[in-house]
């Protein structure tokens, strides 16, 4: 049962229709792939390209990245995109940051049953990737509260009604709850010693869009480029700062890391801090509420400056 | 062949053998490491003793890192009260590179052409010359991502190695090819490996090749074709495929403190050469085109060999499932080389 929710057919139809009408230049969705995670982003520019679209529990990629890249390339165009609820939050963040003109994007939403975390079944036979189980389900799906894509312009298929079964960021709470500072430092040193600085984590993140990343600036040079443990740590601490109040926990960074560095442990920790310090703020949940780091208030305490 | 003797080393004696060898000459060998997130392992060529020896998986990074490290100091200073000296020393200590596959070995040899081309890269050749190479020949593909037979690599070639090894039931058969391989044979003798005959090897399972040799000019002709714009829209422009690749060789040089460091750069990324000069390929499709064309067109046009040895690493490591074989087939069709 690969087609976990039966929206494939409806999506193909919708995509075809949108392209035929001509008001949309590209439709972004998923297609099948022969390699794990057995799916791959797909961009349809012509009606016939839409035949390849699928949706199943392996469709992990956050397609907002492709919306952003497409619109940077063709700023006059309009795109339609199939978005899971979690991924849709990053579109909200990009719109809040004026990086995407929401008018140019038609969000096709649906009721998401959850997706697989391909890392949990890495190396296993294709069968292990076919349907959701307690072993392969992505952590983020266990506490998801946006299963029916919010702010969808078009909704296809049936709504789902699945309640969260775990506390938000349960993995992070557990991880940081048990460890002393020195244990944490040892853990992260070990993890970052294997980082090869391929920047896949940064490239795949829809919210990492800087023209020149601070990790590459060399006049002056903030972070040395050689992938030593210390330099890598600096890069990742820096990236954590960039993600504060912005990361929406799509999990893409963690998925793509070729050496398996558990990056969500970092960004979700930062999100917990933001939630705690800024009155429960959660990135991408409410497009009306100003992100904490974009907001200025006369009452802001400045005790950390002097 | 002058030396017809081979040795059988069983799996349970393998570690002891590598350890004894390592006492004589430092050994670099594929070893497993746990991923920090606990979801599995990856293997890498590292100095013996850092992890658990694993000769049967595809290493994450190729042997390129042994000859062209991801970062290395190429220039530095020493100072004392009287003077400042510039130090730039290529490494010279002998070492053994144990269990490399022919795709990687061939890649290193194809790179010799480049590093000896417009100037002789002394760091590359110092490491080439100080390394004793033990090739682990493949009588069958590691998995369905291997395609060395598409790009003119013989998976069971033995000629240019110093020693050759072959997986056999319960262990490995190792035999000597060149004089430099003697040190390995000596240690095998010492640890009491059994003498056996040099096996006849036949490669099986390398089927359905698409012959890409000779298509470099036809590919060059479709440089401006529209196909590139739609070929791999899913590529995110990270550094994975080029970092894991045994033939990608771009590097960048920067000063870090008082050291001049050279480290890998990657054409697929938007920052490629941008901090030094400018990015010559502003679009992602152009950057992906560079990676494919460099390997399948420019490299063979200049050096007469394809700049890819079919190791399959970029295919297994790409997070967005880009499969260079699929793209090559599409391009060759477009260029009317195949139907
Ligand atoms: S994806 Fe992983 S290895 Fe690559 S830069 Fe990010 S943390 Fe490092
Ligand atoms: S930091 Fe990672 S989890 Fe957060 S939005 Fe970016 S890719 Fe997604
Ligand atoms: S092909 Fe894959 S590995 Fe290479 S740059 Fe693109 S996304 Fe990264
Ligand atoms: S392009 Fe891919 S298959 Fe070819 S040598 Fe490089 S990593 Fe291996
Ligand atoms: S493919 Fe790209 S990174 Fe690799 S050698 Fe060529 S230009 Fe350099």
On whether both B327 and B226 belong to a single domain, the answer is: yes
Does some domain include residue A90? Answer: yes
> Are residues B286 and B239 part of one domain?
yes
* A148 shares a domain with A102: yes
B127 with B10, same domain? yes
Q: Do B97 and B30 contact (CB within 8 A), yes or no?
A: no
CB A253 within 8 A of CB A205: yes
Q: What is the pTM of this model?
A: 0.93
Could you identify the residue written with the tokens 């037979």?
Answer: B149
> pLDDT exceeding 70 applies to what percent of chain A?
98
Q: Pick from B170, B197, B224: which residue ends a domain?
A: B197
Say if residue B228 is in the same domain as residue B273: yes
Let me know whether B235 and B192 are in one domain: no
Domain assignment present for residue A301? The answer is no
Residue of B nearest to A36 (CA): B321
A254 at interface of B, judged by CB pairs closer than 8 A? yes
Paired residues of A137 in beta bridges: A116
Structural domain count of chain B: 2
Instruction: Judge whether A3 lies within some domain.
Output: no
| Close Cβ partners of B285 (under 8 Å, ≥ 6 residues apart) | B228, B229, B231, B232, B233
| Cis-peptide, bond into residue B202, ω within 30° of zero | no
**Domain limit, last residue, from A129, A155, A181:** A155
Please report the pLDDT score of residue A1 as a whole number: 36
The terminus-to-terminus CA distance of chain A in angstroms comes to: 60
In a domain, B284, yes or no: yes
Give domain status of residue A1, yes or no. no
Same domain for A273 and A244? yes
- Let me know whether A18 and A143 are in one domain: yes
- What domain range includes position B243? 216-334
Domain encompassing residue A251: 170-294
Is the pLDDT higher at B284 or at A223? B284
What pLDDT digit, counting tens, does each position of A181-192 carry?
999 999 999 999
Q: What is the pLDDT of residue A285?
A: 96
* Boundary-marking domain end, from B139, B168, B197: B197
What is the Cα A137 distance to its own chain's centre?
16
- For a mutational test of ligand 1's pocket, the pick from A188, A195, A237, i.e. the residue with the most ligand atoms closer than 8 A to its C-beta, is A195
Report the number of distinct structural domains present in chain A: 2
Give the 3-state DSSP-derived string for B151-175, with helices as H, strands as E and coil as C: CCCCCCCCCCCCEEEEEECCEEEEE
Contacts A122 to B, Cβ<8 Å: 39-40
Asked whether A248 lines ligand 2 (CB < 6 A), one says yes
Q: Are residues A74 and A114 in the same domain?
A: yes
Compute the half-sphere exposure of residue B262: CA atoms within 13 Å on the CB side of its CA. Answer: 14
Round to whole Å and give the CA distance between B1 and A283: 70
A299 within some domain: no
- For residue A306, being part of any structural domain is answered with no
Any CB–CB contact under 8 A between B243 and chain A? Answer: yes
Judging contacts by C-beta atoms under 8 Å, the chain B residues touching residue A225 are 71, 252, 254, 256, 261, 263
Assess if residue B207 is contained within a domain: no
**Segments of chain B scoring below 70 in pLDDT:** 1-4
The verdict on B238 and B174 lying in the same domain is no
Answer whether residue A165 is part of any domain.
no
Q: Give pLDDT tens digits for B44-102.
A: 999 999 999 999 999 999 999 999 999 999 999 888 889 988 888 888 899 999 999 99
Tell me: do A93 and A189 sit in the same domain.
no
């Amino acid at each position: 049962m690969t087609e976990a929710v039966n929206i494939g057919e409806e999506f193909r139809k919708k995509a075809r229709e949108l392209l035929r009408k001509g008001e949309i230049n590209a439709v972004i969705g998923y297609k099948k792939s022969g390699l794990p995670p057995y799916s791959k982003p797909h961009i349809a520019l012509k009606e016939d390209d839409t035949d390849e679209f699928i949706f199943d529990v392996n469709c992990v990629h956050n397609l907002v990245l492709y919306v952003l890249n497409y619109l940077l390339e063709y700023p006059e165009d309009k795109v339609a995109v199939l978005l899971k609820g979690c991924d849709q939050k990053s579109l909200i963040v990009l719109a809040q940051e004026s990086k995407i003109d929401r008018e140019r994007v038609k969000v096709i939403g649906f009721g998401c049953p959850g997706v697989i975390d391909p890392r949990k079944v890495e190396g296993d036979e294709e069968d292990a990737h076919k349907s959701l189980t307690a072993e392969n389900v992505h952590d983020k799906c266990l506490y998801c509260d946006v299963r029916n894509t919010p702010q969808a312009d078009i909704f296809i298929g049936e709504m789902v009604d699945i309640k969260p079964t775990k506390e938000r960021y349960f993995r992070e709470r557990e991880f940081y709850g048990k460890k002393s500072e020195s244990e944490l430092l040892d853990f992260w040193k070990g993890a970052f010693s294997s980082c090869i600085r391929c920047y896949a984590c940064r490239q795949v993140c829809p919210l990492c869009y800087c023209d020149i990343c601070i990790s590459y600036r060399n006049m002056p040079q903030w972070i040395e480029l050689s992938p030593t443990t210390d330099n890598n740590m600096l890069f990742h601490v820096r990236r954590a700062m960039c993600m504060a109040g912005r990361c929406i926990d799509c999990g893409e960074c963690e998925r793509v890391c070729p050496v398996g560095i558990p990056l969500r442990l970092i960004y979700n920790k930062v999100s917990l801090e933001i939630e705690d310090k800024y009155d429960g703020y959660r990135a991408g949940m409410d497009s009306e509420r100003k992100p904490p780091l974009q907001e200025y208030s006369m009452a802001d305490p400045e005790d950390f400056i002097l | 062949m002058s030396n017809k003797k081979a040795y059988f080393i069983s799996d349970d004696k393998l570690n002891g053998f590598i350890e004894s060898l390592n006492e004589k000459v430092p050994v670099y060998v594929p070893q497993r490491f746990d991923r920090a997130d606990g979801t599995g392992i990856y293997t890498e060529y590292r100095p013996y003793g850092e992890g658990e020896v694993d000769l049967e998986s595809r290493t994450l990074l190729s042997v390129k890192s042994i000859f062209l490290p991801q970062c290395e100091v190429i220039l530095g200073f020493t100072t004392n009260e009287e003077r400042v000296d510039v130090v730039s020393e290529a490494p010279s200590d002998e070492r053994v590179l144990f269990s490399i596959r022919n795709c990687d070995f061939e890649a290193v040899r194809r790179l010799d052409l480049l590093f000896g081309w417009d100037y002789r890269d002394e760091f590359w050749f110092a490491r080439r010359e100080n390394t004793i190479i033990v090739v682990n020949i493949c009588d069958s593909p590691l998995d369905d991502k291997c395609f060395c037979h598409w790009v003119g690599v013989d998976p069971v070639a033995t000629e240019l190695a110093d020693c050759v090894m072959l997986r056999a039931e319960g262990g490995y058969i190792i035999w000597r090819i060149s004089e430099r391989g003697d040190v390995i044979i000596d240690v095998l003798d010492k640890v009491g490996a059994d003498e056996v005959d040099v096996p006849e090897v036949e490669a099986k399972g390398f089927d359905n090749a698409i012959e890409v040799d000779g298509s470099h000019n036809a590919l060059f002709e479709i440089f401006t074709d529209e196909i590139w714009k739609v070929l791999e829209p899913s590529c995110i422009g990270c550094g994975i495929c080029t970092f894991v690749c045994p033939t990608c060789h771009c590097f960048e040089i920067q000063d870090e403190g008082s050291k001049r460091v050279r480290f890998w750069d990657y054409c697929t990324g938007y920052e490629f050469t941008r901090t030094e000069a400018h990015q010559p390929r502003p679009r992602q499709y152009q950057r992906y085109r560079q990676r494919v064309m460099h390997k399948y067109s420019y490299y063979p046009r200049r050096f007469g060999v394809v700049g890819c040895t079919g190791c399959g690493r970029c295919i297994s490591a790409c997070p967005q499932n880009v499969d260079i074989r699929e793209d090559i087939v599409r391009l060759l069709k477009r260029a009317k080389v195949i139907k």
